[in-house]
Amino acid sequence: MLNFLAKRVGAAVLIVIILVAVMFGLEKMSNIDPAHAYLGAGASAPAVATERKALGLDEPVAVQFWHYLTGVARGNFGVSYRTRDPVRQDLGQYLPATIELATYALGFAVVMGLVLGVASAASWRGYRILKVVMVSGASAPIFLLALLGILLFYAHLGWLPATGRTSYANPPTGPTGLLTVDALVHGDLGVLVDAWRHLVLPAFCLSVVPAVSIGRVLRGSLVAVLREDYVRTARAKGLREKTVLLRHALRNSLGPALAMTGLQAGLLLAGDVVVEEIFAWPGVGNYIAQGLPVGDFPAISGVTIVFGVGYVIVNAIVDVAQRLADPRVRI
């Protein structure tokens, strides 16, 4: 296991370096002059030249890349052209909201995928209705699903709020930045319930497509495992079908579903930008959506690298979880 972890960390570092190189190359190929963009459209030529020298843009490309790479390693993504603040500072403000939303969405996806996969493989009563509802939801574009959710649960039923992260003017702000966790730490149940109500709809919209993918893979794996000899032996011993399914078959079927969960994490992060824009969620997706029209490349590259690192970490955790779920797996 230690050998695997060392190789996995090495591969993760290599992937991140390649991602940083790609973002550096895209910045160089773009028509945006960082010095001119930072100083503004009315900056004089001498001022732009001075700023280019201060930013090191007059140095060889290899030297510029080394400075860029070492800066990213220290968490320095440059200064946002739009907010005029360091991107690291902006990410510190917006990232906790995105982490909270993505965590709940991934949790919803895992739970719904588990229920869908087990119910379908075991042919539980009502599983066809569940399957039709979830597949129909996954077939709809994420923005359409979000708008329908707002119309139904906010405009028509009035059960859930439509936008924002909380209704409170001064919610707890520390120590984690995750509103639900901070509310628990401060013992404020009102803020906790309100944060949950704001989380449910955007997190559900993000989770539907990954849930269906996870459920389908889990169902296929379960159906194959349920034909194995040891499952027949367990049934012959008189064990109940529910016990055979949950205690013997499920654990040995989790490998492919865990792998799919890691892959779906990337899709979830991609959909996060759309969902945050629709629900006015104050996260990184909203931040980058505001930076795209003005060509805020430091913000775009910073968010892309952070999302890439998050995706690599999630898949590394999934690899380890596969080994723990099934000791037969040799990673």
Looking from the CA of 328 toward its CB, the CA atoms found within 13 Å total 5
Q: Confirm if 146 and 279 have CB atoms less than 8 A apart.
A: yes
Both tokens assigned to 67: 């400075």
Domains and CATH numbers, the chain: 2-73 (no CATH), 97-295 (1.10.3720.10)
Q: Is the dihedral of CA 202, 264, 87, 93 positive or negative?
A: positive
pLDDT tens, N- to C-terminus, the chain (331 residues): 677 677 777 778 888 889 999 988 888 887 777 776 777 667 777 877 777 777 777 788 888 889 888 888 888 888 888 888 889 999 988 999 999 999 999 899 989 888 888 887 777 777 777 777 777 777 778 888 888 889 988 888 888 898 888 888 888 877 888 888 988 888 888 889 999 999 999 999 888 888 888 888 888 888 888 777 777 787 787 777 777 777 777 777 877 888 788 778 877 877 888 898 899 899 898 888 888 887 788 888 888 898 888 888 887 777 777 666 666 555 5
CA 201 – CA 198 distance, rounded (Å): 7
Helix (H, G, I), strand (E, B) or coil at 227: coil
pTM (two decimals): 0.81
Both tokens assigned to 52: 């280019």
Amino acid at 29: M
Beta-bridged to residue 79, according to DSSP, are: 86
For 282, phi and psi rounded to 5 degrees? -80, 60
Q: What angle do CA 179, 311, 121 make, to 5 degrees?
A: 90
Closest residue by Cα to residue 83 from 74, 95, 91, 75: 91
Task: Report long-range pairs for 158-164 (Cβ below 8 Å, ≥24 apart).
Answer: 160/197, 160/198, 160/200, 160/201, 161/197, 161/198, 161/201, 162/201, 162/279, 163/279, 163/280, 163/281, 164/198, 164/279, 164/280, 164/281, 164/282
Report in angstroms the alpha-carbon separations of 59 from 50, 63, 93, 196, 301.
13, 6, 33, 50, 21
